Amino acid sequence: MMFNCKNISYILRKASKILQNVSGSVENAQSDARILLENVLNISSSQLILSSIENKQLNHKQIKKYEKYILRRLKNEPVAYIIGYVKFMGLEFKVNNHVLIPRYETEILVEEALKLDNNKSSILDLCTGSGCIAISLAKLSNVKTIIASDISYKAIAIAKQNASLNSVLNRITFIVSDLFTTIEEHEFDMIVSNPPYITQSEYNIVKYNLKYEPKNALVASDNGLLFYKYIAKYSKYYLNSNSFILVELNSNNVKYIKEIFLAQNAYKNIEIINDYAKLPRILKAQKKG
């Protein structure tokens, strides 16, 4: 048995210590241990703190379930996959190993899209994955038409579940498509995308941490530039004049990605937006009129 005491405070401290190496830091280990225990007990953070102060104890069944969670985390399985959901833009999204786990950096893309929301009646979300971008925009904006596409049938199935979970299923059309392949002719007011952009060499370095996530949603050929080249080339045929495209970036390839959009001679006001860590994260461009 991993825990020889049922006290919540003791179990949290020991779990945090056990997870320090896999979580990368004391703070991450404590956060992982806390989130996993909250899920086991089905309580909030504040309730967990109160339970700890009151020296409450776990029963045998709860301890066994928590031990299984900790063992899974020790194998580098992401917390989001263990508990089955993640928070994004204040909303809850189901996730499994058929979709990428939404990252907080991607919230910047949604925030920038919302800033451009005025008079936008149609949006296309390419490589939608869990649907976090399209669903957040449906939930937080008044856009009339939102189309979300992904090459993976299994990803689209999860995205539909998330749209239903967040009460916007009737506001989004989900399409299985390899980028624009099965997207009908349409002039969108905005295109957004978080495409695969990790290079194979980058993946080889970090693959142990990412091995649970779908590789085809992470890695792109042509030194990570394949999807940017395709999106830059074809988006101009699907955008209204003066409409915008926003794509998440590989911060290591920003120079080349910007050059790809410039080379099309179809976009103006190309801007690189930094994330919270001051790394270049979003490319925003406007189709020429």
pLDDT per residue as tens digits for the range 155-173? 999 999 999 999 999 999 9
How do residues 133-151 score in pLDDT, each as one tens digit? Answer: 999 999 999 899 999 999 9
Among 95, 139, 141, 97, which residue's Cα sits nearest to residue 116?
141
C-alpha to C-alpha distance for 175 and 283, rounded to whole angstroms: 24
Mean pLDDT, rounded, for 183-210: 89
pLDDT value at residue 56: 85
283 CB-side CA count, 13 A: 28
pLDDT value at residue 205: 86
Lowest mean pLDDT among 6-20, 47-61, 120-134: 47-61
Strands 280-287 and 239-248: antiparallel
pLDDT value at residue 1: 61
C-alpha to C-alpha distance for 219 and 225, rounded to whole angstroms: 10
How do residues 41-53 score in pLDDT, each as one tens digit? Answer: 998 888 888 888 7
Quote the mean pLDDT of the chain: 92
Give the other-Cβ count within 10 Å of 165's Cβ: 16
C-alpha to C-alpha distance for 196 and 224, rounded to whole angstroms: 8
How do residues 248-287 score in pLDDT, each as one tens digit? Answer: 999 999 999 999 999 999 999 999 999 988 999 999 999 9
Domain residue ranges in the chain: 8-75, 97-287
55 pLDDT band, cuts 50/70/90, is: confident
117 pLDDT band, cuts 50/70/90, is: low
pLDDT value at residue 135: 98
pTM for the model stands at 0.93
CATH for the stretch 97-287:
3.40.50.150
